[in-house]
């Protein structure tokens, strides 16, 4: 009856809180187990350098999963966008046009995915599995299987803008990733487009009868994801100053893991973009953290698996209701012998 | 045509490939008339509703809304909404995992020019509808609650309240009482009475003949894609209607010309 029975119920409404706690706990553990590494600033700068491409991809995937879809083709877009950019830069020395072309290539891949899913009704997981192979094939073929070095990129303005170092140490891409998280949070939670995506993922039939153009929204969604993946690919390529045809491979599962441990429901309709943000940093920090503790590289995957399972369980157990239930229980423990006859606040068990 | 109509269908037909779902449908709904649409499963009721509400276009035929002809091929759900046609479905009116305020305004968001939502305004209006029109009081359900927290009757209340808020002239109720308890069915029927009192029109589709009989001014019986009878309430008692339908479904009755 009394809805405001829990003083801590508001905690359940803070988006992504459980996963933020996991990240904090993880860093505290690392600080104790590997103090020499985790008390310095360098390791964090290294995370700010390596996590952003993954985080950007995870933002895009959160949108896809929210709509009840899947996209396996984004690693290929990372490679394709990297190739288009480096090839153009190498050939014409105009990085800005290369950048735009790379984004356009990503949009095109996404648009084709959208056509397959929304128009031809191919289930997205199958359609994008196929396009993933296809676009990697196109990339390797046109690149002749060779990597392209673009050491010269480091002197360009575009490099400074996207992957430069603020005050000589802070990787700018971390700010881009943070800004994009904030921007896309508003698109998802405070914009018609995001609301349409949530309703489509919740129940596409409801969305349709309420006047949402479901197919057009799906087209836009996949195109957007192509653009986002291309941007992630550009961040990666510019950061390491080299394109190699297999880049992006190996990012599929970590990015999916970041989305799901963040709390976004695989069933669709319920995104947790803030969770995706923290989830990406968890995934991106685990390997380095575990290695730094000195227990040995063989432990990495085992610990990763444990942390992922723990995070997902935490998200399921501590939902919106979970926290208020927990804090009610906690209060009972805290004041076990309070005299009955109050205003019935929390002491229902005496009745 | 002296009388004002909320809706008129002339020779509407619908084919799915070579399968005929609706055959020369002619019917109309007066501007303050409640029409009960009766028919067995697969008779074509849902197809008819989807054409009316702009979910898909008929293969041929004309559609008039408030006596104005509508171009059926550019007719969409959004246009139906704009023309004052609202639909309450059995189970697909609300997004389960979405907050109530989103459910009220989905497809018709109040937004800034760039498409960002005016959340505060939407919540305020949603809250007014919930308290004043639908009668939610206390019970821990508010504009931020997810639709999944509502009972079946409450959901239909929200859907009907939403339709009334957007000043629908014709509210189509497609099996709104399936899977509801008797008490909740009563609530829904009361809402339909309100539609009549407000001077609006409605099409009520249900398998429960007693409910249809209670609230309708006229009954239309549809079978295998055709309208087989149109009977005014004054011409028939509930018992006779029941018997008519029973006989009809057993194939004892020849077609009655509408």
Taking only the tens place, the pLDDT of each residue in A254-281 is: 999 999 999 898 889 999 999 999 999 9
| Cβ atoms of A48 and A170 closer than 8 Å | yes
Comparison of pLDDT for A295 and A91, the residue scoring more: A91
Taking alpha carbons only, the member of B100, B171, B169, B167 closest to residue B140 is B100
Phi, psi of B87 (to 5 degrees): -130, 140
Q: Which residues make up the CATH 3.40.50.300 domain(s) of chain B? A: 5-94+169-249
* CATH class for the domain made up of A3-331: mainly alpha
Residues 53-112 of B with CB under 8 A from A: 53, 55, 76-78, 81, 87, 89, 92-98, 102, 106-109, 111
Chosen for mutation from B75, B92, B156 (greatest number of chain A CBs closer than 10 Å) is: B92
What ipTM was predicted for this assembly? 0.81
CB contact under 8 A, B106 and A1: no
Residues in chain B: 258
From the CA of B28, how many Å to the nearest CA of chain A?
A: 22
How far apart are the C-alpha atoms of A49 and A240, rounded to whole Å? 10
How far apart are the C-alpha atoms of B214 and B189, rounded to whole Å? 9
Whether the pTM exceeds 0.90: the reply is: no
How far apart are the C-alpha atoms of A193 and B117, rounded to whole Å? 10
A248 half-sphere exposure, CB direction, 13 A CA radius: 33
CB contact under 8 A, A208 and B55: yes
Overall fold of domain B5-94+169-249: Rossmann fold (3.40.50)
Question: Where in chain A are the domains?
Answer: 3-331
DSSP structure class, residue B223: E
Q: Which residue of A has its CA nearest to B148?
A: A202
Per DSSP (E only), the strands in B157-258 are 170-174, 201-205, 218-223, 226-232
CB contact under 8 A, B116 and A206: no
Written as six digits, the tokens of B27 are 């019917």
How far apart are the C-alpha atoms of B170 and B33, rounded to whole Å? 9
Residue A201's pLDDT is 95
Specify the residue for token string 């599929």: A252
Chain A residues whose C-beta sits inside 8 Å of any chain B C-beta: 1, 3, 186, 190-193, 195-196, 198-199, 202-203, 205-213, 265, 269-270
User: pLDDT tens, position by position, for chain B (258 residues)?
Assistant: 457 888 899 998 899 888 888 888 888 899 889 999 988 877 888 888 888 888 888 899 999 998 888 888 888 888 888 888 988 887 778 998 999 999 999 988 999 989 999 999 999 999 888 887 777 766 678 888 888 888 777 888 888 888 888 888 899 998 888 878 888 888 888 888 888 888 889 999 988 888 888 889 999 988 888 888 888 888 888 888 888 888 777 665 554 544
Give me the mean pLDDT over the A97-113 stretch. 97
Chosen for mutation from A192, A212, A224 (greatest number of chain B CBs closer than 10 Å) is: A192
Chosen for mutation from B106, B111, B174 (greatest number of chain A CBs closer than 10 Å) is: B106
CB contact under 8 A, B55 and A193: no
């Amino acid at each position: 009856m009394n809805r405001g029975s829990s003083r801590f119920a508001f905690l359940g409404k803070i988006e992504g809180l459980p996963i933020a706690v996991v990240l904090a706990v993880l860093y505290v553990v690392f600080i104790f187990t590997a103090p020499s590494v985790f008390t310095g600033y360098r390791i964090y700068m290294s995370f700010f350098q390596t996590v952003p491409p993954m985080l950007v991809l995870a933002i895009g995937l959160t949108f896809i999963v929210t709509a009840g879809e899947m996209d396996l083709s984004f690693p290929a877009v990372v490679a394709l966008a990297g190739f288009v950019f480096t090839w153009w830069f190498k050939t014409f020395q105009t990085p800005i046009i290369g950048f735009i072309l790379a984004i356009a290539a990503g949009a095109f891949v996404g648009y084709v995915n959208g056509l397959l899913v929304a128009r031809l009704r191919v289930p997205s997981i199958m359609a994008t599995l196929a396009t993933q192979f296809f676009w990697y094939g196109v990339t390797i073929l046109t690149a002749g299987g060779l990597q392209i070095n673009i050491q010269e990129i480091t002197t360009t303005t575009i490099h400074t803008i996207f992957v430069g170092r603020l005050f000589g140490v802070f990787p700018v891409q971390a700010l881009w990733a943070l800004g994009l998280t904030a921007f896309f949070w508003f698109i998802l939670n405070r914009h018609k487009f995001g609301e349409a995506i949530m309703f489509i993922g919740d129940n596409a039939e409801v969305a349709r009868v309420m006047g949402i153009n479901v197919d057009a929204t799906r087209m836009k969604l996949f195109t957007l994801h192509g653009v986002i993946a291309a941007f992630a690919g550009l961040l990666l390529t510019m950061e390491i100053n080299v394109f190699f045809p297999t880049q992006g491979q190996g990012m599929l599962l970590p990015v999916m893991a970041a989305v799901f441990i963040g709390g976004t429901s695989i069933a669709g309709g319920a995104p947790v973009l803030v969770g995706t943000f923290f989830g990406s940093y968890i995934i991106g920090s685990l390997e380095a953290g575990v290695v730094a503790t000195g227990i040995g590289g063989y432990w990495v995957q085992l610990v990763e698996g444990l942390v992922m399972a723990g995070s997902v369980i935490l998200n399921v157990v501590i939902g919106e209701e979970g926290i208020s239930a927990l804090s009610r229980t906690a209060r009972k423990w805290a004041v076990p012998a309070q005299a009955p006859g109050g205003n019935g606040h929390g002491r229902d068990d005496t009745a | 045509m002296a009388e004002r109509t909320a809706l008129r269908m002339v020779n509407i037909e619908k084919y799915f490939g070579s399968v005929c779902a609706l055959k020369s449908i002619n019917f109309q709904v007066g501007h303050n008339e409640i029409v009960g649409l009766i028919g067995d499963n697969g008779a074509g009721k849902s197809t008819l509703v989807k054409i009316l509400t702009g979910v898909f276009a008929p293969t041929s035929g004309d559609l008039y809304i408030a006596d104005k002809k509508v171009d059926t091929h550019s007719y969409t759900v959004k246009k139906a909404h704009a023309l004052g046609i609202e639909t309450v479905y059995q189970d697909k009116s609300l997004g389960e995992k979405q907050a109530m305020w989103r459910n009220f305004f989905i497809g018709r968001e109040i937004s800034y020019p760039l498409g960002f939502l005016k959340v505060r305004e939407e919540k305020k209006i949603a809250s007014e509808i919930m308290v004043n029109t639908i009668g939610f009081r206390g019970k821990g359900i508010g504009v931020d609650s997810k639709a999944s927290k509502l009972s079946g009757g409450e959901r239909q209340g929200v859907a009907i309240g939403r339709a009334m808020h957007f000043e629908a002239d014709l509210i189509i109720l497609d099996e709104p009482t399936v899977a509801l308890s008797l008490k909740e069915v009563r609530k829904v029927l009361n809402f339909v009475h309100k539609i009549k009192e407000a001077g609006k029109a409605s099409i009520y589709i249900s398998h429960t003949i007693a409910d249809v009989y209670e609230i309708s001014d006229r009954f239309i019986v549809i079978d295998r894609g055709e309208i087989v009878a149109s009977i005014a309430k004054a011409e028939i008692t509930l018992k006779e209607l029941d018997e008519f339908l029973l006989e009809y479904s057993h194939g004892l009755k020849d077609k009655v010309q509408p």
